[in-house]
Amino acid sequence: MIEVKDLTKSYGQITAVDHISFGVNKGEILGFLGPNGAGKTTTMRILTGFMPATSGTASIAGFDVTNESLEVRRHIGYLPEAPPVYPDMSVESYLDFVARIKNVPAEKRRGRVDDAMAKTNLTDRRHELIKRLSRGYKQRVGIAQALVHDPDVIILDEPTVGLDPKQIIEVRHLIKSLAGNHTIILSTHILPEVSMTCDRVVIINKGRVAAVDTPQNLTSQLKGGLRVRVEARAPEAALKDLLVKVPGVKIVQIEGAHNDGHMIAMVEGTQGKDIRSEIAAGIVGKGWPLYELRGVSMSLEDIFLQLTTDDASHAQPAN
C-alpha cells in the first residue's frame, strides 16, 4: 500500500530524513517511533504531499507522491501534529467542510460526517464551536477530520498527544478498530503506544531507520532473561565470586562502588528462573548488608535507547 524508497529531505545543511526505506502492507498499522526531531513529521509530510522530498521516491496506493500528488491526496487522511481546525466553526460544519474539500459526493456527505463523529464520540458536541472544546476534544476533531472521507491510508502524527489517559485508551481502540479497512501510519515517541497498537514498528533516529520489526520481535531480540540489580556493601571480588556461583546466573557485571562503599552489580539469569531469592540468601548468609535487589526488565524502551543513543555513549558503560 505504501512504498518508501531512499527518501531524503535536507534543509540546507541539515538532513532531516536520510535515505529512509520501508513498506506498509494493506490493512496494517505501522508505528513510527523516534525521539523528537528524528524526522518523523518530515517523512509524514512528504508522504501526504505537503512538501516534496529532496531525493528518493514514495508511493501510496500505487501513486507517486510527487508526480501524482493530487491522486495520492485523494487516498489519504492526515492528522498533522496540531489538529488543523478552524476555531470559529462548529464541529459539524467543520467536518462538512473537510468532506467537501476531500471530494465526498454530496449524497454521502451527511452520512460520512455523522459516522466520523460517532467514531470519535463527538456526536453530542456537534454544534459546539471548536474553540470552546478542550484540547482532547480538539484532537478528536482532528482525528475525525482524517477519517471523514473514508480514506485508504490514514496518517496520524502523534494522535494521542494532549489526551488524558482515558482518552488515550479510547483513541488506541479507535485506531485498532480502523485497521483492516484502512492502512495506518502513526508516529509517536511514547513506547507503550507502539507495542499496544502497531503491527510493525519503524524506529527512526537522526533521519535514519534504526530498525524495522514487529514490537514482539524487537522486544524478544534483546531479552535474554531476567536481569537483577544488586546493591550491597561487600568487597568487589568476593561479591562477584558469590554471584557467579548462584545457580542460574549467566552473567555478572560489577558496575563499581558508590562513594559510600555500596557495590552495585548487574546480574543476568537464564530465562524462566527467578534468581532473586538465592542471591538474597547468599549475600545475607555472608553477613553483608543488602540494600537493594531489583528486577530490571528489558523493554522496548531499552531497545529504543540502545538503538537511538550515540555510539560514543555506548563505548562507556551506562551508569
Looking at the Cβ atoms of 70 and 312, the one nearer to another protein is: 70
Contact between 87 and another protein per CB under 8 A: yes
Among 34, 49, 159, 282, binds another protein (CB under 8 A): 49
Q: Which of 4, 32, 39, 73 binds another protein (CB under 8 A)?
A: 73
Nearer to another protein, 88 or 292 (CB): 88
Measured from the CB of residue 158, what is the shortest distance to another protein in angstroms?
A: 13
Of residues 62 and 289, the one with the C-beta less far from another protein: 62
Is residue 13 at the binding interface for another protein, with CB under 8 A as the rule? no
Select from 5, 55, 62, 82 the one that contacts another protein (CB under 8 A): 82
Residue 108 within binding range of another protein, rule CB under 8 A: no
Site for another protein in 138-167 (CB under 8 A): 145
CB 79 within 8 A of CB 157: yes
**Binding segment (CB under 8 A) for another protein, from list 80-88, 166-174, 219-227, 299-307:** 80-88
Q: Is 132 in the site for another protein (CB under 8 A)?
A: no
Give the residue, chosen from 52, 180, 256, 261, that forms a contact with another protein under the rule CB under 8 A. 52
Residue 21 or 69: the one with the smaller Cβ distance to another protein is 69
Beta carbon of residue 80, minimum distance to another protein (angstroms, whole number):
5
- Judged by the rule CB under 8 A, the positions of this chain that interact with another protein are 11, 45, 48-52, 70-71, 73-74, 76, 78, 80-82, 84-89, 93, 97-98, 100-103, 145
